[in-house]
Amino acid sequence: MNRITTIIIEDEKPAARKLQRMLSHFADLELMATLHSVEEGIEYFQNHLHPDLIFSDIMLGDGVSFDIFEAVHTQSFIIYTTAFDQYTLKAFKLYSIDYPLKPILQEDLERAIEKYHFFNPHQRESKPLNLKELIQEKVPKLSRLLVKTGYKLQIVPIEDVACFYSENKLVYALTHDRAYPTEFTLEELEKVLDSKVFFRISRQCNIAITYIKHIHTSPTYKVELTIPSSVELGVSRDRVKDFKDWLV
């Protein structure tokens, strides 16, 4: 039996121990190390052989695990584990073959490792960036945002967002009480938002159908939202037809 060398990256030690126990049920996995931070991860991968497979949390105490793999090039396959689904797109760009959300079940790991076996590990040097194209499942739709308010992190359910809009090179999520800066571009959001709920009416704005109050058609199409105080947003002329089709 060919051994699959693995590494765990997880800053919460109880979660790391739980994942170790779950992985111990797979006879062909050999755990090489458990790392707990971005700094430790970069140091390890700069000075040790890289494993076949990495199980990595995304939110670490000193940053996000993407920072490790942007600093140190790896050919390892990565299974990201996280409680938040807003990083899906970036995960798939960085060698991810699966993205199970916490709390992780044993069947989630079984499915993820099956995906690893599906890909031929010997092909990864020649086509490392084609993993995203080979993934058969659809990218999960965004269900919540993790936003920063001062020195705190806050969870914003996607159903609380009336629209996303760009301003000064940032994209904001507008809710009933305030606008939160996000890490997305509007192009990325189009891929992870439910297209039945959200529509991009212009280069600057993507709105939720649940927050439309009125649609004004003269002299140009404008959408009036119910929050925060009857906001009106213009619909680009080249998107009017698609916008009307989307409404029905």
Work out how many domains the chain is built from and give that number. 2
pLDDT at 207: 96
Are residues 89 and 151 located together in one domain of the fold? no
Domain-located, residue 73? yes
Query: Is there a domain that residue 12 lies in?
Result: yes
The answer to whether residues 193 and 226 belong to one domain is yes
Which residues, at least 6 apart from 32, have a Cβ–Cβ distance to it below 8 Å?
5, 6, 7, 48, 51
pLDDT tens figures, 9-49 = 998 888 899 989 999 988 889 999 999 999 999 999 999 99
* 2: exposed, middle or buried (Cβ count in 10 Å: 0-12, 13-18, 19+): exposed
Residue 176 sits in the same domain as residue 200: yes
Q: Which structure tokens are listed for 28?
A: 């062909």
Q: Identify the residue whose tokens are 């084609």.
A: 130
Residue 228, domain CATH: 2.40.50.1020
Judgement on whether residues 69 and 97 belong to the same structural domain of the protein: yes
Range of the structural domain that residue 190 is part of: 144-247
Looking at the predicted structure, is the pLDDT value of residue 127 above 80?
Answer: no
Q: Are residues 21 and 107 in the same domain?
A: yes
pLDDT tens digits for range 203-248: 999 999 999 999 999 889 999 998 866 567 999 999 999 999 999 8
Same domain, yes or no, for 10 and 128? yes
Give domain status of residue 139, yes or no: no
Report the distance separating Cα 65 and Cα 80, nearest Å: 9
Q: Is residue 171 part of a domain?
A: yes
Note the pTM of the prediction, 2 decimals.
Answer: 0.51
Query: Does the residue 200 lie in any domain?
Result: yes
Q: Same domain for 121 and 14? A: yes
Residues 17 and 108 in one domain: yes
Specify whether 128 is located in the same domain as 168: no
Ranges 80-89, 102-111, 205-214: which has the least confidence = 80-89
In this predicted structure, the answer to whether residue 71 has a pLDDT above a threshold of 50 is: yes
9 and 88 fall within a common domain = yes
Q: Please indicate, yes or no, if residue 49 is contained in any of the structural domains.
A: yes
Is residue 117 located within the same domain as residue 148?
no
Q: Are residues 11 and 56 in the same domain?
A: yes
Query: What CATH code is carried by the domain that includes residue 42?
Result: 3.40.50.2300
Residue 22 counted as domain residue? yes
Q: Would you place residue 74 in the very low, low, confident or very high pLDDT band (cuts 50, 70, 90)?
A: confident
> Do the beta carbons of residue 211 and residue 226 sit within 8 Å?
yes
Q: What φ, ψ does residue 92 adopt, rounded to 5°? A: -70, -20
pLDDT of residue 125: 42
> Distance between CA 38 and CA 68 in Å, rounded?
6
